[in-house]
Amino acid sequence: MKAYRFFNVSANGKITSAMGNQEWRPGKWVAYSGVVSPCQAGLHACRTVFDALQNRQGACLGIVECAGKDIVDC
């Protein structure tokens, strides 16, 4: 599933989540083995740009691909 989320970008180009300390790299998958819980570990994404704007804003809006278990929290 494709989804939308905001990222923070530091001066040295490091891309991170607003929640949690997950670092992101374009084109690389992130595996998560913990308990799936809404807004934990910085792994949330929204199905629409509008929802992303209402959720958490950051410096950069990105399109992400999600796979596996998901939880709808709204």
**What are the tens digits of pLDDT across the range 56-72?**
778 889 898 888 777 77
**Whether the Cβ atoms of residue 19 and residue 42 lie closer than 8 Å to each other:** yes
Give Cα 4 distance to the centre of its chain: 7
Residue 7 scores a pLDDT above 80: yes
Q: What are phi and psi of 16, to 5 degrees?
A: -135, 165
Whole-model pTM? Answer: 0.74
**What are the tens digits of pLDDT across the range 17-54?**
876 677 888 999 888 777 777 666 667 788 899 988 88
